[in-house]
């Protein structure tokens, strides 16, 4: 997604300037062309050499340098860039940008640029909260800039408050999302991805769960987001961090996941059911913690839990679509199998009338729950099967959306209406 993108990174004189070296490194590793512009005061914190070594390109600091290179480049940079990120954005530079000043290389480039502008303020919380800074940020947002809110935590002064520059993954996610919204092949689409495992209560402290980490679902959500889709994640129990830049609804049980999913289909183009949903739930969860020797026990000290079948969410989604005579919802299922993977997967695809079924053999050590790789086969409605090698889940997600994007009908086409 970042391959060949031209990103200009503006660095100001804030204590968080050193963190941006890591960001520039990650952007370059992802295949982006990165031009770095430092303010004069940024050079008090980090050296141009650090950034030119990472980006393998000249770093611009001084509009007035005698060769005239920077002066010539400020308009060209603005025209060539796919995105300008200013991080850390100091209170001072935010004020200069808000008032259209162009007194150095960075502010001059910022005025010349037509690509999206991302601003990541980082400063002591009093400076951030100051009405002048807040008014300047509002003005910039009104003009179309995206403000990446600073995080709360321990600041350089030792105080705790809002003002920290978000970590590299959050900044990268914002960049990917912004580029996706401009040029991605899922722009205008709304997709719903379920992720993680469900928990079925036995009593107030115990549950029946599964090993799902949420990694595959989150990879699918992040890929959809980066291609420009408006993305909703319905997440059960997960151990992976929540993906930034997507809407998240948290659920616990299969019934909650069902309700949230069906409610979200009203204007969705695709439903990707990557969550590991419990087939059964405890019929009557105990209202109090079950103790040894309690009335719930059988006479011989054993305990019997009666399980009842959970609803089939994909089947209900299909019924909802059919009841409304609509074809606008692309439905994707996942099958985590331990044996007879292909036979079970093909049967599930037919039974549930899916457009695509992603099957993985979770008995393989490097594939399935809790690991960052997956070996899957894609089963299509027309009977085709595509067997993929063992790949990072991010790569599996990319391939799935490559296949799905052409399947999605226009957003203006029929949608499930409830
Ligand atoms: C040690 C030190 C740390 C600073 N950290 C920040 C900061 O995190 N955020 C900020 O807005 N200003 C910070 N400042 C103040 C800016 O460096 C100052 O406003 C400067 O004029 C900003 O210039 P620039 O916006 O052109 O980079 C700091 C100053 C010093 C001396």
Ligand 1 in contact with 374 (CB < 6 A)?
no
pTM of the model: 0.80
| Residue to mutate, 9, 10, 11, 13, ligand 1, most ligand atoms under 8 Å from C-beta | 13
Distance CA 376, CA 361 (A): 7
Ligand 1 in contact with 10 (CB < 6 A)?
no
Ligand 1 in contact with 42 (CB < 6 A)?
yes
310 is catalytic: no
Q: What angle, 0 to 180 degrees and rounded to 10, lies between the N-to-C axes of helices 215-226 and 393-404?
A: 50
- Residues β-bridged to residue 161: 153
Ligand 1 in contact with 39 (CB < 6 A)?
yes
Distance 39 CA to ligand 1 centre (A): 10
Distance CA 189, CA 224 (A): 9
Distances (CA, A) of 150 to 88, 121, 123, 138: 10, 6, 8, 14
Q: Which two tokens stand for residue 219?
A: 């990879």
Supply φ then ψ for residue 35, to 5 degrees.
-105, 130
Q: Structural domains in the chain?
A: 6-178 (3.40.50.1950), 186-407 (3.40.50.10300)
Strands (E), 303-407: 307-309, 330-337, 356-361, 373-374, 376-380, 385-387, 391-392
Q: Which two tokens stand for residue 72?
A: 């010539």
| Residue to mutate, 16, 18, 88, 92, ligand 1, most ligand atoms under 8 Å from C-beta | 92
Sequential pLDDT tens for the chain (418 residues): 789 999 999 999 999 999 999 999 999 999 999 999 999 999 999 999 999 999 999 999 888 777 777 777 778 888 889 999 999 999 999 999 999 999 999 999 999 999 999 999 999 999 999 999 999 999 999 999 999 999 999 888 888 899 999 999 999 999 999 998 888 899 999 999 999 999 999 999 999 999 989 999 999 999 999 999 999 999 999 998 888 889 999 999 999 999 999 999 988 999 999 999 999 999 999 999 999 988 889 989 999 999 999 999 999 998 888 887 667 789 999 988 777 888 888 888 988 889 999 998 777 777 667 788 889 999 999 889 999 999 999 999 999 999 999 988 544 444 444 3
Distance 145 CA to ligand 1 centre (A): 21
Is the Cα torsion angle 235, 240, 246, 247 positive or negative in sign?
A: positive
Atom of ligand 1 nearest to the CA of 106: 26
Ligand 1 in contact with 11 (CB < 6 A)?
no
Ligand 1 in contact with 14 (CB < 6 A)?
yes
β-pairing verdict for 385-387 and 206-208: unpaired
Distance CA 191, CA 247 (A): 11
Query: Which DSSP category does 287 fall into?
Result: S
Distance 64 CA to ligand 1 centre (A): 22
Select which of 136, 210, 310, 374 is catalytic.
Answer: 210
């Amino acid at each position: 997604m970042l391959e060949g993108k031209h990103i200009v990174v503006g660095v100001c004189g804030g204590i968080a300037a050193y963190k941006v070296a890591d960001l520039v490194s990650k952007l370059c590793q992802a295949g982006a062309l990165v031009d770095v512009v430092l303010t004069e005061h940024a050079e008090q914190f980090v050296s141009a050499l650090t950034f030119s070594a990472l980006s393998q390109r000249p770093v611009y600091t001084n509009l007035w340098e005698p060769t005239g290179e920077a002066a010539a480049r400020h308009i060209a940079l603005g025209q060539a860039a796919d995105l300008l990120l200013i991080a850390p954005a100091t209170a001072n530079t935010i004020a200069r940008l808000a008032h259209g000043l162009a007194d150095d290389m960075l502010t001059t480039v910022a005025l010349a640029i037509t690509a999206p502008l991302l601003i990541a303020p980082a400063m002591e919380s009093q400076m951030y909260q100051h009405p002048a800074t807040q008014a300047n940020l509002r003005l910039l947002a009104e003009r179309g800039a995206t403000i990446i809110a600073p995080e709360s935590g321990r600041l350089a002064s030792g105080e705790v408050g809002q003002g920290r520059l978000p970590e590299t993954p959050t900044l990268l996610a914002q960049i990917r999302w912004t580029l996706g919204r401009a040029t991605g092949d899922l722009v205008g689409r709304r997709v719903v991805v379920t992720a993680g495992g469900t928990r079925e209560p036995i009593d107030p402290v115990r549950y029946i769960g599964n090993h799902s980490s949420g990694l595959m679902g989150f990879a699918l959500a992040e890929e959809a987001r980066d291609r420009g889709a408006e993305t909703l994640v319905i997440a059960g129990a997960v151990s992976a961090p929540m993906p930034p830049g997507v809407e998240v609804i948290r659920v616990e049980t299969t019934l909650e996941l069902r309700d949230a999913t069906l409610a979200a289909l009203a204007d969705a183009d695709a439903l990707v059911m990557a969550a590991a949903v419990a087939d059964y739930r405890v019929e009557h969860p105990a209202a109090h913690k079950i103790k040894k020797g309690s009335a719930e026990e059988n006479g011989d000290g054993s305990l019997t839990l009666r399980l009842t079948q959970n609803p089939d969410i994909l089947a209900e989604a299909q019924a909802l679509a059919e009841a409304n005579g609509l074809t606008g919802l692309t439905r994707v299922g996942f099958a985590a199998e331990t044996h007879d993977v292909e036979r079970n997967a093909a049967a599930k695809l037919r039974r549930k009338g899916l457009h695509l079924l992603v099957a993985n053999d979770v008995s393989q050590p490097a594939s399935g729950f809790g690991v960052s790789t997956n070996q899957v086969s894609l089963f299509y409605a027309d009977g085709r099967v595509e067997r993929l090698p063992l790949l990072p889940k991010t790569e599996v997600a990319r391939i799935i959306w490559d296949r799905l994007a052409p399947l999605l009908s226009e957003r203006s086409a029929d949608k499930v209406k409830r």
